[in-house]
Chains A and B, each alone.
Chain A
């Protein structure tokens, strides 16, 4: 294998295919760029299957080993990231199943469909004479908030905290969909979810982040 037969000017900006090519030539910078690009996401996805961050980190490390040793056989029929995450989720699942023998199943599978999008107390009761199930206290309008408000550092931190507080599968789905911009089919494939299940997880996640933003903006929009 020739040493550095590549012309990566800026690995951080190279696309996956360029990085893959450079990696095949043993370019360390390409490896680092891929780790930076996908490492955090891999860790988060792995946490959907195993119990602790330390184990997730091991799974991520094993995955990179498997990627490097499988590089020669990888024909590039699937996208690099699809291949990468398929290896990751397979390993994470195996690891999770091993762990599950000593853990009650509910703690691993629970939390996927956990409660309503909005506090039921916000709605009129089902036996209300005129408006059963309608808003008792509707959402205070955000229209007064300037669009840039969403970019404020504090708001972003609040959103991040809300995402970190979600059950792990919900985190994985909302980050892949709404941060990374993956299409639903790819998320289903990588996480081995049905389309319906993927939407449920996305719905729970988005609903909780919205509720958190609503609490955060409450003072600003009340005036």
Chain B
């Protein structure tokens, strides 16, 4: 069983959070965390990043062009009405 280095761990952290690491790899990951406060911090920061992304409500910044689409809708409705 080979140990994971910190620079390898940072590339596995999403698989770890997604629960998709193979059991043996997950065990190595956990073993590394038990000895490495820097990587514990790194994983915690990734968790907080996910929270921060969720809180950023990023879509609200992009208001779709409702007006142009309303024309699409009204044309569609008119066509329906006229059969």
Contact = CB atoms under 8 A, between A and B. Distances in A.
Contacts of B69: 31, 35, 39, 61, 64
B49 A213 contact: yes
A40 B65 CA distance: 9
B76 A202 contact: no
A69 B76 contact: yes
A174 B65 CA distance: 23
Interface residues of B, number: 49
Interface string B43-83: 01110111111111111111111101110111011001100
Interface stretch (A6-14, A93-101, A104-112, A153-161): A153-161
A86 interface: no
A181 B81 CA distance: 38
Contacts of B50: 178, 206
A134 interface: yes
Contacts of A218: none
Interface string A144-165: 0000001100011001100110
A51 interface: no
A35 B59 CA distance: 12
Nearest to A137: B38
Contacts of B41: 138-139, 141-143
Tell me the dominant secondary structure on chain A's binding face. Answer: helix
Contact of B56 (A32, A42, A160): A160
A194 interface: no
Contact of A139 (B5, B38, B70): B38
B64 A179 contact: no
Contacts of B60: 40
Contacts of A28: 70, 73-74, 77
B50 to A, nearest CB: 5
Contact of B10 (A39, A43, A118, A156): A118
B49 to A, nearest CB: 4
Contacts of B10: 116-118, 207
A12 B80 CA distance: 25
A39 B70 CA distance: 13
Given A26-B77, A68-B72, 9 more contacts: A31-B70, A35-B64, A40-B64, A64-B69, A69-B76, A151-B55, A179-B58, A203-B14, A209-B52
Interface of B: 5-8, 10-11, 13-15, 18, 20, 36-39, 41-42, 44-46, 48-66, 68-70, 72-74, 76-77, 80-81
25 contacts: A28-B77, A32-B66, A39-B63, A40-B59, A44-B59, A57-B65, A60-B64, A116-B10, A117-B10, A117-B11, A118-B7, A133-B5, A142-B44, A156-B57, A160-B58, A178-B54, A179-B54, A179-B56, A180-B59, A195-B20, A203-B15, A207-B14, A207-B46, A210-B46, A213-B45
